[in-house]
Structures are given as C-alpha cells and as structure tokens.
Amino acid sequence: MTALLEGVTVLDLASVGPAARASRWLADYGATVVKVGPVPAREGVQIVPVFFAYSAHRGMKRALLDLKTPEGRDAFLRLAAGADVVIESFRPGVVDRLGIGYDDVRERNRGIVYCSTTGFGQRGPHAQWAGHDLDYLAVGGFLDCSGRGPDGQPPIPGATVADSAGGGMHAVMAILAALVHRNTGGEGAYLDVSVADGVLALMALQVDEFLATGTTPGPGHGILTGRYACYDTYMAADGKWLALGIIEARFWHNLCDALGLAHWRDHQTDDAVQDKIRAELRTVFATRDRDDWVGELAPADTCVAPVLTVPELIDDEQYIARGAFVSAQHPRHGAFRQVGPVLAGMTPAEGPYEVRDADATDTDELLGAAGLSPEEYVQLHDAGVVA
C-alpha cells in the first residue's frame, strides 16, 4: 500500500516533546521528515534524546544548520521553499527573531503549513511560561479529576498524556486538516498548537458538565472516575491486578453471574452499597491468579482486562498478532526492538529498520536539492554554518 503521506515533506525544528512526537507519526504515515538541528559548534542548545527515543528517528533525514547566522537562516528558508510543513517548538517570538517564522517562510512558499507547538500557545498571559507534561495536565483539570493517594495528593501519570495526545496528536490533526484545506484549493496555514488547549479538549466531558450544570467533577465523581465498583482495579491472588471497565448493565450482569454475585446485579450504580460490592469483589478476585480470571472472564463479555506491565505487554498475543513491535539495527548499539507504526493507516517496513547514529546528516544532499551549488555548500561548511 502506498504510504498515505508519501510526497509530503516536513521540516521539524524540535528535538523532543510534543512536536517531535508529531513528526514521528507523520513520518510513520509516509511523510519525508527532515530533522533540523544545530551544528556541532552550537550543541547544547537542544536536548539530545537517547538513541532509542522517538523510534530512533527511523526513516528520517537530518540537516544541521546554524540558524543564528544569515547564511544558516537562508539555507533553512531554501529548504522551506520546497517543504509542505514546518514544525517548531521554540517559545513564542523566537522564530520571528531568527527570521524563520511563518511570514518569512510564507514569502517563499505560500502553501506552507507552519505549526508552532508550545505549552500555552502563542498568546495569553501564560504564553511565555516554561512547562512540561505534568504542568499541562495540572492546568487542564486532568490531575484534579484523577484518583488520589491516601493524603489526597494528585497522581503522577504513567505516561506523558499531555505531550502525546494534548500536543503531538493535536499537532498531527491540525496539520492534516490544513493539508486537506490546501489541497482542495486553499492556501497554507499557520497553526498555533497549545498543549494546554489540547488537554482541555481531552477534558471536555468534565468541563462541559460543570459549565452546563454547575456540578464540580473530581475523582470518584462519575462512573469513569471511580464512583462505582464496576469501574475499578482489583488485586488477584498472585498480586497482579485486574481492570474492570464496566459501564453497560448487561456486562455488569454477566460479571455478577460469573462470580456468584448475582445479588448485586441490580445495584451497579446504587451509591449506598458500593463499599460492600467492592469488598466482595476484592474477596472473590483474591481467590485466583490474574491470568486465570482473565482467561475465564475476558471472553465472556465482562469488560475485564489484565493490568499488564511493560515486560508483559511486549509478549501479549493481541499485540503480537497485530505486528505491534518491529526490529531495528543501530550502527553502535546493535539490534533492538521498538514499537512499530501501529496507528491506523500506517505502513510498516518489511524487515528491520536501519536507524542511524546522531552524527549522520543529509545536509549536503538536501541543500543541493534546494538549489545550493557544491561550491556554496563547501563555503558554508568551512564557515561552520552547516554540518
């Protein structure tokens, strides 16, 4: 199958975070992604991720430019003239000061889709605040609505939900919408992706409830945040955990019947007896190992699943059947496995991915394709502007 974004070229100025996640997914959809980083003389201005992060940048190209020099800026604008998308994650105002902002690129390429991905967006009183995933989950209501420890402390999530969904997938959706608009007769677009806005979108069910009714949501407020025993986690005899994700009454009836708890069939959302139901569920689940329960209950329409550790999930039969994990080969670190292109519509490669070391670049090839002569490239290289 032809990759869905074949023919789309993306310049990614980010090294880590939501923007880097976005370009990773765009590359897995077939886009040609060029990671634009600083020349060695300016190393340290960006975080350098470990070799396996962001799928080891499989299938991506790399150009190293000194964007603080006029020559480096011009080299970038030459690349941008032939690109479809630019992604950047500097603080608001930085790309304009460098001379590589949306207006600068649009002068050379009116069809450009320019995506600025920041924590709080390009405008507003918090636009210049520094932050990371936990901060955006905090201001978006996610932490306050999540389950608490014994002292009421909001939890530290087990994944970077804000960076990935609130930022990275937010950016991908916006970019794809802009490309569709451009390809149906429109021009390019400027996209102001705020990770905090993305978290707010994820929290819309809870926020809309408050706006419409005045009811304050929080942990244990509704069925999806732990109010009822049917939507909770329980320990099995071997110390491993089960997740019950039951909403519909018929699934609850199935579970009650299977566990010999038919007397609770009509009390799924009866607040007066939730502690009693939880106590009986804990007692029953503690009689057998987790995988025994899963083997019996999961196929029986009960919405029961195992809480898998990372070492367990890589051997899970469902993920294996769907080809979720692929092999990669690094010139220094050797062979390793990684999560493959698992999102719908992505096309995994046949055989192992050959990933490159961080010092490998395609700068000369890319600038040559953008119209730079070999003599010009040698001059820029000798001046330390490109590498």
Q: In angstroms, what is the C-alpha Rg of the chain?
A: 25
**Distance (Å) of CA 381 to CA 90, 208, 232, 341, 364:** 25, 55, 59, 35, 9
The one-letter code for the residue type at 217 is P
Q: Which of 298, 293, 271 is nearest to 281 (CA)?
A: 293
Annotated active-site residue 163? The verdict is: yes
Q: Which of 345, 322, 342, 344 is nearest to 3 (CA)?
A: 345
Q: Which of 114, 142, 156, 152 is nearest to 200 (CA)?
A: 142
**Distance (Å) of CA 153 to CA 91, 137, 180:** 31, 14, 44
The answer to whether 240 and 306 have CB atoms below 8 angstroms apart is yes
Residues 6 or more apart whose Cβ sits within 8 Å of residue 122:
92, 116, 192, 194
Burial class of residue 385 in the structure, from the number of CB atoms within 10 Å of its CB (0-12 exposed, 13-18 middle, 19+ buried): buried
At residue 10's C-alpha, the angle toward residues 8 and 16, to 5°, is 145
**Active site residue: 96, 132, 257, 275, which one?**
132
Q: Which of 75, 74, 102, 99 is nearest to 188 (CA)?
A: 102
Please report which helix (H) or strand (E) contains residue 12, including its range: strand 9-12
**Active site residue: 12, 28, 84, 163, which one?**
163
Euclidean distance between the first and final Cα of the chain, in Å? 35
Q: 3-state DSSP call for residue 245? A: strand
Query: For residues 161 and 150, what is the distance between their CA atoms, to the nearest angstrom?
Result: 23
Report the C-alpha dihedral over residues 95, 190, 168, 225, rounded to 10 degrees. 120
List own/partner pairs for 156-160 with CB under 8 A and 24 or more apart. Answer: 157/133, 160/133
Annotated active-site residue 381? The verdict is: no
Task: Write out the catalytic residue numbers.
Answer: 132, 163
